[in-house]
């Protein structure tokens, strides 16, 4: 696969590259960022390689990420129309203002206009709700987003970091009221974080929503810098928040990832990205890069072909523990339900309590 093997995002006609360039590191306003010049080099390299999908947010580097993108395309306006620019609302940039964040109508309108101003563009190609907002009715959010689409300020909409039940509620509000539906979900997904497979991945499949995973390397945990004997790192691969992920389960995942990467002659990061990109319902994986070398390394994951055995080993060592009723349904129900036959590739174990003959049935 190449960066120019474009995919339609969810149940839409929007064509995007299989890797999306995340721009949370554009700007030095946060500790993990790159300066304007290096950010522009990364963006130029991604575009020159054929990539067309950019992801940012109103709050990334305090708004500087959006401004860097806007300034870049102001210098190269012919590139703007060929790119899919996605940004997010929901985070607050104004201390003390209760309406500066969240997904209420006032907040959405203001955030949209500020993002358009910073990015110096007439429309946002994909507008994400950054976080689920427990204080705003979902119909208010969906109606406000539909109004922005009808006004030409937004082309498509999606949700990030939102429970499956609320995604479902939003989709039915859109269907009932003939509003603009979601086309995608942006979710944390990696070998370490797979719990979205319980509710959100099935919801995405049911509604035809593309998934764009964020943190596919778990903040650097799966980059190859961390092993059982080397825990220190720089940037996000350090600190107390990172240390809490150094569990025996995750070390086992890292061990298997390192082995698979060595067998394939690729970096651990490339193997981890390849695994995510090959998961069901994943459309475009978000990759971040603080410099051109990191981007070049990450883009090479598209050339990685994991064998069935390697994929199975990674699947097994990273298998998540899902909340009820998922384990119960997976281990018990096929045996009781299928009558001992294979259905859609699922072959159950024999059910010892089932009738053995017509005479045993009441």
For 26, the 3-state DSSP assignment is strand
What is the phi/psi pair of residue 242, to 5°? -75, -40
CB contact at 8 A, 65 and 34: no
Using alpha carbons only, give the angle 54, 48, 60 rounded to the nearest 5 degrees: 25
Residue 287: half-sphere exposure toward Cβ, Cα within 13 Å: 35
Residues whose CB falls within 8 Å of the CB of residue 294, separated by 6 or more in sequence, listed in order: 288
Strand intervals (E) in 195-349:
210-214, 285-288
The full length of the chain comes to 362
The C-alpha atoms of residue 148 and residue 265 are separated, in whole angstroms, by 48
Separation CA 166–CA 176 (nearest Å): 15
Q: Is 94 a catalytic residue?
A: no
**What is the full DSSP assignment across 280-312?**
TTB--EEEE-SSHHHHHHHHGGGG----HHHHH
Which residue, 259, 250, 261, is CA-closest to 220?
Answer: 250
**Tokens 């072909």, located at residue:** 305
Take residue 310 and report the two structure tokens written for it.
């390697």
Cis ω for the linkage preceding 91 (within 30 of 0):
no
| DSSP, res 323 | P
For 248, other C-beta atoms within 10 Å of its C-beta total 8
Distance CA 37, CA 43 (A): 10
CB 168, CB 203: distance < 8 Å:
yes
Which of the residues 60, 127, 156, 189 is marked catalytic? Answer: 60
Structure tokens at 284: 């475009």
Q: List active site positions.
A: 60
């Amino acid at each position: 696969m190449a960066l120019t093997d474009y995919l339609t995002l969810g149940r839409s006609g929007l064509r995007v590259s299989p890797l999306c360039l995340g721009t949370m590191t554009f700007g030095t306003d946060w500790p993990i960022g790159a300066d304007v010049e290096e950010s522009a080099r990364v963006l130029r390299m991604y575009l020159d390689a054929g990539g067309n999908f950019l992801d940012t947010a109103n709050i990334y580097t305090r708004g500087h990420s959006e401004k860097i993108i806007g300034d870049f395309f102001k210098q190269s306006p012919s590139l703007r129309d060929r790119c899919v620019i996605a940004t997010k609302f929901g985070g607050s940039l104004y201390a003390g203002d209760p309406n500066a964040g969240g997904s209420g109508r006032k907040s959405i309108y203001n955030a949209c206009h500020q993002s358009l101003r910073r990015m110096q563009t007439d429309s946002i190609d994909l507008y994400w709700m950054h976080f689920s907002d427990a204080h705003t009715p979902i119909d208010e959010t969906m109606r406000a987003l539909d109004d922005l689409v009808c006004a030409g300020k937004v082309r498509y909409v999606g949700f990030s970091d939102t429970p499956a039940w609320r995604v479902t509620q939003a989709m039915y509000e859109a269907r009932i009221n003939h509003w603009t539906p979601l086309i995608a979900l942006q979710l944390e997904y990696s070998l370490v974080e797979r719990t979205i497979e319980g509710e959100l991945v099935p919801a995405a499949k049911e509604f035809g929503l593309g998934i764009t995973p964020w943190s596919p390397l778990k903040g650097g945990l799966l980059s190859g810098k961390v092993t059982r004997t080397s825990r220190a790192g720089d940037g996000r691969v350090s600190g107390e928040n990172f240390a809490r992920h150094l569990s025996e389960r995750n070390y086992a995942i890292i061990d298997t990832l390192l082995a698979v990467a060595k067998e394939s002659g690729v970096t651990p990061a490339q193997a981890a990205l390849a695994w995510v990109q090959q998961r069901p319902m994943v459309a475009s994986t978000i990759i971040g890069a603080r410099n051109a070398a990191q981007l070049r390394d990450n883009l090479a994951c598209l050339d990685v072909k994991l064998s069935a055995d390697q994929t199975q080993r990674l699947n097994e060592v990273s298998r998540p523990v899902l909340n009820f009723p998922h384990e119960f349904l997976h281990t018990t129900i096929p045996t009781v339900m299928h009558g001992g036959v294979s259905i859609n590739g699922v072959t159950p174990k024999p059910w010892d309590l089932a009738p053995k003959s017509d005479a045993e049935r009441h």
